[in-house]
Amino acid sequence: MTDTTEEIVLGEVIPSTDMEAYRSTVPLWQRVWRHSLTQMMLLSVQAFCGPAMSDAIAGLGGGGLATPTVSNISTAIRYALLAITCGLGGPIVNKIGVKWALVIGSLSFPIQGSAYYCNSKFGNQWYLILSGAIGGVGTGCWYVAEAGAIMTLAPSRSRGKYLALWIVSRNLGQLVGGAINLSKNHVKGVSGGVTPDTYIAFLIIEALALPFAFLILPFERVVRSDGTRIVTSETLSTKHEIQRIVKTMTSKLVLLSALWAMWSFFYSGSWSTYLAIHFTVRARALSSLISPFFCIVGCFGLGFILDMKSLNQRRRAQLGLYTVVILNVAVYIWSIVMQAKFNRHDPGHIDWDSGVYPSSFLPYFFVQTTGPLSQSYMYWLLSSFATNAQDNVRNGAAFRCIEAVGQAIAYGMNSQTQADPLVGFCVTFGLLGAALIPMILLVNTTPDQIPADVIDGELDVADKKLEGTSIEPPVDSKGGRR
Secondary structure of the chain as H, E, C letters: CECEEEEEECCEEEEEECHHHHHHHCCHHHHHHHEHHHHHHHHHHHHHHCHHHHHHHHCCCHHHCCCCHHHHHHHHHHHHHHHHHHHHHHHHHHHHCHHHHHHHHHHHHHHHHHHHHHHHHHCCHHHHHHHHHHHHHHHHHHHHHHHHHHHHCCCHHHHHHHHHHHHHHHHHHHHHHHHHHHHHCCCCCCCCCCCHHHHHHHHHHHHCHHHHHCCCCCHHHCECCCCCCCCCCCCCCHHHHHHHHHHHHCCHHHHHHHHHHHHHCCHHHHHHHHHHHHECHHHHHHHHHHCCHHHHHHHHHHHHHHCCCCCCHHHHHHHHHHHHHHHHHHHHHHHHHHHHHHHHCCCCCECCCCCCHHHHHHHHHHHHHHHHHHHHHHHHHHHCCCCCHHHHHHHHHHHHHHHHHHHHHHHHHHHHCCCCCHHHHHHHHHHHHHHHHHHHHHHCCCCCCCHHHHHHHHHHHHHHHHHCCCECCCCCCCCCCC
| Whole-angstrom Cα Rg for the chain | 23
* Cβ partners under 8 Å of residue 94, min gap 6: 235, 236, 241, 390, 393, 394
Mean pLDDT of 81-102: 86
| pLDDT value, residue 274 | 82
Higher-confidence position of 79 and 218: 218
| pLDDT value, residue 19 | 67
Q: What is the pLDDT of residues 138-188, one digit of tens each?
A: 988 998 898 888 888 888 778 888 888 888 887 776 677 667 767 766 666
| pLDDT value, residue 189 | 58
Mean pLDDT of 433-446: 94
Q: CA-to-CA distance for 143 and 149, rounded, in angstroms?
A: 10
Least confident stretch, 100-104, 336-340, 365-369, 466-470:
466-470
Q: CA-to-CA distance for 231 and 321, rounded, in angstroms?
A: 27
* Cβ partners under 8 Å of residue 149, min gap 6: 39, 40, 43, 98, 216, 219
Phi and psi for 6 in degrees, rounded to 5? Answer: -130, 125
Distance from CA of residue 325 to its chain's centroid? 18
Q: CA-to-CA distance for 9 and 14, rounded, in angstroms?
A: 8
* Cβ partners under 8 Å of residue 468, min gap 6: none
* Cβ partners under 8 Å of residue 330, min gap 6: 366
Phi and psi for 465 in degrees, rounded to 5? Answer: -65, -35
Percent of the chain topping pLDDT 70 = 82
Mean pLDDT of 305-332: 92
Among 294, 349, 378, 287, residue whose Cα is nearest residue 58: 287
b vs e for 324-341, b when ≥16 Cβ sit within 10 Å of the residue's Cβ?
bbebbeebbebbbebbee
Q: What does pTM read for this prediction?
A: 0.77
Contact indicator for 456, 229 with CB cutoff of 8 Å: yes
Range from 28-37, 150-159, 191-200 that averages highest in pLDDT: 28-37
Distance from CA of residue 152 to its chain's centroid? 14
Higher-confidence position of 33 and 57: 33
Q: CA-to-CA distance for 351 and 418, rounded, in angstroms?
A: 20
Q: What is the pLDDT of residues 385-397, one digit of tens each?
A: 888 888 888 888 8
| pLDDT value, residue 292 | 75
Higher-confidence position of 332 and 240: 332
**Has residue 356 got a pLDDT over 70?**
yes
**Has residue 318 got a pLDDT over 90?**
yes
Q: CA-to-CA distance for 427 and 93, rounded, in angstroms?
A: 33
Least confident stretch, 63-67, 235-239, 252-256:
63-67
Instruction: Tell me the CATH number for domain 35-215+255-467.
Output: 1.20.1250.20
Other Cβ atoms within 10 Å of 84 Cβ, number: 17
| pLDDT value, residue 434 | 95
pLDDT band per the 50, 70, 90 thresholds, residue 225: confident
pLDDT band per the 50, 70, 90 thresholds, residue 1: very low
Average predicted confidence (pLDDT) for the chain: 80
**Has residue 61 got a pLDDT over 60?**
no
| pLDDT value, residue 421 | 81
pLDDT band per the 50, 70, 90 thresholds, residue 282: confident
